[in-house]
Amino acid sequence: MQETLSKYIPEAAIPSVFEMIKAHGVHLKIVNERVTRHGDYRKMPDGTHQITVNANLNKYKFLITLVHEIAHLMAFTKYGRFIKPHGKEWKLSFQQLMLPFIRPEIFPSTLLPLIALHFKNPKASSDTDARLSLALKQFDPDNDKNYIFEIPYGGTFRLYNGKIFKRGNKRVKRFECLEVATGRLYLFNPNAEVDGANRGRIFKINEEQLLRSNYGRGYRLPFLACEHHTVP
């Protein structure tokens, strides 16, 4: 297991993560990229705990995602199955588990202050923290992806499900985007990623990155959940 972990997380974090996995009885599966989530936690019918994490994440995002999911296991075990997935119990568990990793031996100096700030009140996904998301992105392999804020006004792009959108005006922090086929307006976080520009881009997005706005009445799209957690 430690040899496997060495391929995906910072070297200095390996011993602590390995002990955490053993202590909580985690069956860790490293899987191919899933568009709608970085990782998930499930309590299986036989009582075992399964966590999956996308193999394509850079080592810092992989570590944060893995600890995020272990925090779900810890919170559900300690506080019961009826708590909110990303409620105060999970936040406290996530903070406690991450604290020993927030040090220069594990994270580079460019990330440390942003991570420390993020974990004062951790969100359901680090992707919704624009500054941290952009900082983590610097450690991804080179690719041709752009962010929504880089797409010009009127530029079109395509979601992974084939829906085509046109970028509109900025509304406070998010960008209005028009779904071409239906005329519906959606709000996109500026740091949501797309492939290329003005040539039918594939959008990698999660629940926290996209809110539907139906003439001012917004709600999260249920089919775009990023982290999925199942507790029977």
Please report which confidence band the pLDDT of residue 195 belongs to, taking 50, 70 and 90 as the band edges.
Answer: low
Q: Considering 120, 140, 160, which residue would you say is the last residue of a domain?
A: 140
Count of all residues that appear for the chain in the document: 232
Residue 202 has pLDDT above 70, yes or no: no
> Do 120 and 190 sit in the same domain of this protein?
no
Q: Tell me what pLDDT residue 144 has.
A: 66
**pLDDT category, 130, cuts 50, 70, 90?**
confident
Q: Which tens digit of pLDDT belongs to each residue from 69-78?
A: 999 999 999 9
The mean pLDDT of 193-205, rounded to a whole number, is 46
How far is CA 109 from each of CA 102, 113, 136, 150, rounded to the nearest angstrom?
10, 7, 12, 26
Please report whether residue 191 resides in a domain. yes
Residue 232 lies in a domain: no
User: Contact 203/158 with Cβ under 8 angstroms?
Assistant: yes
Domain identity same for 42 and 62: yes
* 211 is a domain residue: yes
What DSSP designation does 133 have?
Answer: H
Stronger pLDDT, 45 or 173, i.e. the higher one: 45
In a domain, 200, yes or no: yes
136 and 155 assigned to the same domain:
no
Percent of the chain clearing pLDDT 70 (strictly above): 82
For Cα atoms 227, 231, 232, give the angle at the middle one, nearest 5 degrees.
145
Give the range of the structural domain holding residue 207, as residue numbers without chain letter: 145-224
> Residue 82 has what pLDDT?
92
Specify if 164 maps to a domain: yes
Note whether 157 and 94 are same-domain residues. no
Do the bridges between strand 217-220 and strand 26-31 make them parallel or antiparallel, or are there none, so unpaired? unpaired
pLDDT, residue 150, reads 81
Q: What CA–CA distance (Å, rounded) separates 33 from 115?
A: 24
Alpha carbons 140 and 61: distance in angstroms, whole number? 9
Residue ranges with strand state E in 75-184: 145-147, 156-159, 164-171, 174-179
Q: How many domains does the chain have?
A: 2
Please give the pLDDT value at position 221. Answer: 29
Q: Are 69 and 62 in contact (CB under 8 A)?
A: no
